[in-house]
Structure 1
Amino acid sequence: MLKDKLARNISIYRKEKGLTQEELAQLLRISSQAVSKWENAQTMPDISLLPSLSRILEVSVDKLLGYVAQDKRITIYEDEYLTEEYYWGTEPNTACYQVLQLMPPTKHLKLLDVGCGEGKDAVFFARNGYDVSAFDLTDAGIEKTRRLADQTGVHVNVFKADLLEFRLDTHYDIIFSSGVLHYIKPDYREEIFDNYKRFTNDNGIHVLNVFVNKPFIAPPPEKETNAYKWRSGELLAHYHDWLIRDSAEIVFDCNSSGIPHKHAMTTMAAQKVTSLGSCHVCGN
């Protein structure tokens, strides 16, 4: 619903600006109770306030209302997820084992799987004791994630969200994403990663990968119209202020479309270190 989207977005973007409800109300010359009601989806702002709200929060009115232009499907795999079989299988990505190594679940750890697809990685993490949330844009992917979790006897808090729209408003210890970040438009990358970094607990980690373009590798045969180019080093640049625990650029064979081809990919694990005394790089 529009009211719910607007409520969530006002809350998210207000917190990103570091404003309390009272401070936002003062800037708009309204009561703090009015802002509280907006964020609880009890009421909506008067249309005359939207331009001022947009200016203060530094986001467009369209983005406040939850409109992110998508004239085509986000992923070409939506139809594939409608089958009974798991298109990507049920074995976890190798990057999952890196999470286990860098931040084993020896205590309660909250993990978010960004763009979980059919849920194989999210369910693997839940099986290993993490408190897992996951989101995807495809209804079929979400349903298959729930089914796999039920079959495995674990719980995954899986929900539907658009990668371009969704912003965190709660903290996690681990953010994981594999094979998804190429759907982020270049104009949104800084904002999205700043949000992910801000809502990561101290000493938390991000384990991510992204396809990168190389002149010696032919474009993939899938021809995804909603995929956007990344350059070598671009992902790392978003984490210049974090400790890079591991990074590599790999070339691998793929047959996802039935046509053998190759991909180049940047893989990265980064840690949010607030002081040398609290850094767990030595496992202490």
Structure 2
Amino acid sequence: MKEQVARNIQSYRKEKGLTQDGLAQRLGVSYQAVSKWETAQSLPDLALLPELARLLDVSVDRLLGYGAGDRSVTLYEEAYRASEDYYWGTEPNEACFKVLRLAPPIRRLKLLDIGCGEGKDAVFFARNGYEVSAFDVTDAGVEKTRRLAERTGVRVNAFKADVNDFRPEEDFDICFSSGVLHYIKPDVRQELFSSLKRRTSPGGLHVLNVFVEKPFIAPPPEPEPYAFPWRSGELLAQYHDWLVEDSAEIVFDCDSSGIPHQHAMSTLIARRP
């Protein structure tokens, strides 16, 4: 818990443009105290938490890593909640079949679905014998993931978390993510991927994709105030020390908003040595 709180305090402090000394002065503590919080040597006193959260413009739950926040970070919360139907359908992403081919569940394999949406891929993996944990930032997405798993007769450990805040506390054999990594803030990317890589078993697999900006493709019609741009090759560079089994860039048509448009996407499959 200390490590999670330390990361959060440092990240939100920097977002507000505060130095350690500046935050300390506003709280009436020493800058050494703030430094110890951010290096996980100690935790803030309970009485300081409400004021600390107020200064950092987050909820206490978010500060402590227990929730995905007190503000919407994706337009899909409303879309998932608007209908009993599944916004993305229930057919798995084609990348799921690559996981089956490259890491078949002939033994117990633990899989983490990062940003699972309404759970179609997480449930597919569970149906095929993987031990699946899956998280999403939307309450509606997590609830629909649980319902789909129950309806299908499989178990998925589905929970709410923000990809910017979540760091695994156990090892996984496979990390899978589709259509989510553009929500990762640029200043936490290296630390986040380092954490995911450390928590991957030797020989484990990461199967990921991310939208990338291209000058010849118009921005998507959906407003995404909490999305951040990625460039070609940026995802691949995070895995320079792993075996890259596949890396590609594709352009595809999409009408998720009801308005036909295109996306450019970098895809990656990498294995830990």
Coarse TM-score class (shorter-chain normalised): 0.7 to 0.9
Q: 1:240 to 1:68 in 2, by over 3 A?
A: farther
Q: Is the Cα–Cα contact under 8 Å of residues 173 and 204 in structure 2 kept in the other structure?
A: yes
Partner of 1:144: 144
- Give the partner amino acid of 1:53: K
- Give the partner amino acid of 1:77: Y
Partner of 2:244: 244
Partner of 1:79: 78
Q: Is the Cα–Cα contact under 8 Å of residues 68 and 160 in structure 2 kept in the other structure?
A: no
Equivalent-residue separation in structure 1 for 2:225 and 2:7 (angstroms): 29
Q: 1:107 to 1:11 in 2, by over 3 A?
A: farther
Equivalent-residue separation in structure 2 for 1:69 and 1:156 (angstroms): 19
Equivalent-residue separation in structure 2 for 1:12 and 1:243 (angstroms): 29
State which of 1, 4, 7 in structure 2 corresponds to 1:9: 4
Partner of 2:36: 53
**1:171-190 alignment runs, 5 A limit:** 171-190=171-190
Deviation of 1:54 after TM superposition, in Å, equals 3.0
Q: 1:118 to 1:240 in 2, by over 3 A?
A: same
Q: Is the Cα–Cα contact under 8 Å of residues 6 and 39 in structure 2 kept in the other structure?
A: no
Equivalent-residue separation in structure 1 for 2:108 and 2:182 (angstroms): 31
Q: 1:236 to 1:110 in 2, by over 3 A?
A: same
- Give the partner amino acid of 1:54: W
Partner of 1:161: 161
- Give the partner amino acid of 1:267: T
Equivalent-residue separation in structure 2 for 1:71 and 1:108 (angstroms): 37
Partner of 2:209: 209
Partner of 1:272: 272
Equivalent-residue separation in structure 2 for 1:50 and 1:125 (angstroms): 45
Equivalent-residue separation in structure 2 for 1:85 and 1:53 (angstroms): 48
Deviation of 1:56 after TM superposition, in Å, equals 3.1
Partner of 2:219: 219
Q: Is the Cα–Cα contact under 8 Å of residues 68 and 164 in structure 1 kept in the other structure?
A: no
Equivalent-residue separation in structure 2 for 1:8 and 1:84 (angstroms): 38
TM-score by length of structure 1 reads 0.76
**1:95-114 alignment runs, 5 A limit:** 95-114=95-114
Equivalent-residue separation in structure 2 for 1:192 and 1:89 (angstroms): 29
Q: 1:68 to 1:89 in 2, by over 3 A?
A: closer
- Give the partner amino acid of 1:94: E
Equivalent-residue separation in structure 2 for 1:194 and 1:183 (angstroms): 17
Deviation of 1:52 after TM superposition, in Å, equals 3.9
Equivalent-residue separation in structure 2 for 1:90 and 1:68 (angstroms): 26
Equivalent-residue separation in structure 1 for 2:63 and 2:72 (angstroms): 22
Other structure's SS at 1:213 match? coil
Q: Is the Cα–Cα contact under 8 Å of residues 12 and 168 in structure 1 kept in the other structure?
A: no
Task: Give the aligned length.
Answer: 235
- Give the partner amino acid of 1:121: D
Q: Which runs of 5+ in 2 are unaligned?
A: 9-28, 45-55, 57-61
Q: Is the Cα–Cα contact under 8 Å of residues 68 and 162 in structure 2 kept in the other structure?
A: no
List per-residue Cα deviations over 1:250-279 (Å, max 9, x = no partner).
000000000000000001000000xxxxxx
Partner of 1:194: 194
Q: 1:74 to 1:144 in 2, by over 3 A?
A: same
- Give the partner amino acid of 2:39: I
Q: Is the Cα–Cα contact under 8 Å of residues 247 and 266 in structure 1 kept in the other structure?
A: yes
List per-residue Cα deviations over 1:155-212 (Å, max 9, x = no partner).
0000111111111111000000000000001011001100000000000000000000
Equivalent-residue separation in structure 1 for 2:128 and 2:243 (angstroms): 25
Equivalent-residue separation in structure 2 for 1:221 and 1:211 (angstroms): 14
- Give the partner amino acid of 1:9: Q
Partner of 2:122: 122
